[in-house]
């Protein structure tokens, strides 16, 4: 059932234990919204037990680290899942073990789950939604919570570069900047990466295939990841690299997983690409989506669809207005 900020607050008030989940292979918005919400709840309701769960991503522990959550913690607990469009991507399968399940997200609501859900696809990020919730309900926000939410917004907007950045996004970011935290350090942290990622980025540029339509792709095999000592999660750091090339309009990065299948990360400057993702066991935003491929043959099918989109073939697109 769809819900409101008022109902979210009343539901939080009704539970003594609250466990917050987010998606697998977390990014700054997943961690920022998860940890930011925890900080807000703890500051306003210090007697409540608030926990975060999921696997820690080593490259992002500077944002937040997870709590130890035991099975018995879920008894009579409120479970909140942030920044996760569909159930298979939720980190920690115990999300169903609580008394009440709530979804807070900004992705297209194609997998409707939970007793309550709040989905705003006009928001740049789940962190923007959490900040909007806190401001609208006049909740106390600590410097730490503001820093976490600002980090999530900056992460999902590409430091306010992407089209998902709205005037409301900038207003909320401005409100968060009134708090005391080192916003410049956050930007520096996001703009830096290990030398091995720099070398992987060089590999991407060297091996990128670009069609005359402006569609591009690169494949990162398991052997390539091992050569550069880069994990699947760490490889996400180079997802924006092809977009720096002026003739590239949309691109896909195929990352081979241990079982031989492929995680597909797709981005576009203007053309809508989430229709492709939906056809290949994925989804996401109009200009930033993810999919899954079972084989090299399916990789080529995805790339051919990406070429068709860049050529203006509406058959392969999903209109933003449908969400």
pLDDT tens, position by position, 241-274: 999 999 999 999 999 999 999 999 999 999 999 9
Question: Do residues 156 and 108 share a domain?
Answer: yes
Of 47, 58, 100, 45, the C-alpha closest to 77 is 100
We report the CATH number of the domain holding residue 259 as 3.10.310.30
- CB atoms near residue 69 (< 10 Å): 18
The per-residue pLDDT for range 49-66, each reduced to its tens digit, is 999 999 998 889 999 999
Q: Quick one: pLDDT at residue 192?
A: 86
Q: Give pLDDT tens digits for 124-142.
A: 999 999 999 999 999 999 9
Task: Give percent of the chain above pLDDT 70.
Answer: 97
**What pLDDT shows up at residue 215?**
98
* Mean pLDDT computed over 161-171: 93
Q: What is the mean pLDDT of residues 189-202?
A: 93
SS3 92: coil
- Domain total for the chain? 2
Q: How confident is the model at residue 321 (pLDDT cuts 50, 70, 90)?
A: very low
Q: What is the mean pLDDT of residues 177-192?
A: 92
Contact 126, 164 (CB under 8 A): no
Looking at the structure, do residues 142 and 289 belong to the same domain, yes or no? no
> Can you give the pLDDT at residue 314?
59
204 and 124 inside one domain: no
What mean pLDDT comes out for the span 229-245?
A: 92
Domain end marker among 129, 160, 191: 191
Alpha-carbon gap, residue 40 to 145, rounded angstroms: 6
Q: Are residues 129 and 251 in the same domain?
A: no
Mean pLDDT, rounded, for 288-299: 95
Domain limits at 225?
Answer: 195-322
Report the pLDDT value the prediction gives residue 302, as an integer from 0 to 100: 97
Does one domain contain both 102 and 244? no
Q: What pLDDT, on a 0 to 100 scale, did the predictor assign at position 312?
A: 87
Same domain, 174 and 223: no
What is the token pair recorded at 87?
A: 């159930």
Residue 168 predicted with pLDDT over 80: yes
Among residues 43, 50, 67, 53, the alpha carbon closest in space to that of 15 is found at 50
71 and 115 housed in the same domain: yes
- Beta carbons of 232 and 270 less than 8 angstroms apart: no
pLDDT higher than 70, residue 317: no
Bridge partners of 288, per DSSP, are 267
Are 64 and 146 in a shared domain? yes
Percentage of the residues of the chain whose pLDDT score is greater than 90: 82
pLDDT tens by residue, 4-55:
999 999 999 999 999 999 999 899 999 999 999 999 999 999 999 999 999 9
Mean pLDDT of the chain: 94
Q: Which of 176, 191, 206 is where one domain is finished?
A: 191
The answer to whether residues 253 and 242 touch, using CB atoms and an 8 Å cutoff, is: yes
- Whether 174 and 201 map to the same domain: the answer is no
CATH number (domain holding residue 176) = 3.90.1640.10
The residue among 142, 173, 191 that closes a domain is 191
- Predicted local confidence at residue 209, as pLDDT: 98
The contacts of residue 232 (CB under 8 Å, 6+ apart) are 25, 225, 255, 257, 263
Q: How confident is the model at residue 205 (pLDDT cuts 50, 70, 90)?
A: very high
User: Cβ contacts of residue 72 below 8 Å, gap of 6+?
Assistant: none
Q: Label residue 320 by pLDDT band (50, 70, 90).
A: very low
**Does position 189 have pLDDT exceeding 50, yes or no?**
yes
Q: In this model, does residue 315 exceed pLDDT 80? A: no
């Amino acid at each position: 059932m769809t819900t409101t900020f008022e109902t979210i607050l009343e539901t939080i008030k009704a539970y003594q234990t609250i466990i917050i989940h987010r998606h697998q292979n977390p990014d700054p918005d997943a961690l920022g919204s998860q940890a930011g919400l925890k900080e807000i709840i703890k500051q306003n309701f210090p007697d409540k037990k608030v926990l975060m769960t999921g696997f820690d991503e080593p490259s992002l522990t500077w944002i937040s680290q997870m709590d130890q959550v035991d099975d018995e913690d879920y008894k009579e607990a409120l479970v909140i899942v942030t920044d996760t469009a569909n159930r298979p991507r939720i980190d920690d399968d115990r999300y169903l073990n609580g008394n009440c399940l709530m979804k807070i997200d900004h992705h297209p609501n194609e997998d409707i789950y939970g007793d309550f859900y709040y989905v705003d696809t006009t928001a740049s990020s789940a962190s923007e939604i959490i900040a909007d919730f806190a401001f609208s309900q006049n909740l106390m926000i600590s410097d730490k919570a503001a820093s976490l939410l600002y980090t999530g917004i900056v992460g999902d907007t590409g430091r306010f570069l992407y089209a998902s950045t709205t005037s409301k996004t900038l207003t909320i970011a401005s409100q968060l900047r009134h708090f005391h935290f080192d916003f410049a350090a956050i930007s520096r942290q996001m703009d830096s990466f290990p030398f091995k990622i720099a070398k992987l980025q060089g590999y991407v540029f060297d091996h990128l295939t670009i069609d005359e339509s402006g569609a591009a792709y690169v494949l990162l095999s398991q052997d390539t990841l091992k050569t550069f000592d880069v994990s699947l999660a760490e490889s996400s750091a180079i997802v924006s690299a092809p977009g720096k090339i002026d003739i590239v309009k949309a691109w896909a990065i195929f990352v081979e997983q241990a079982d031989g299948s492929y995680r597909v990360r797709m981005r576009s400057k203007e053309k809508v690409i989430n229709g492709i993702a939906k056809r290949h066991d994925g989804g996401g935003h109009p200009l930033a989506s993810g999919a899954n491929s079972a084989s090299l043959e399916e990789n080529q099918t995805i790339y051919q669809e990406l070429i068709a989109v860049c050529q203006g073939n509406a058959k392969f697109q999903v209109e933003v207005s449908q969400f």
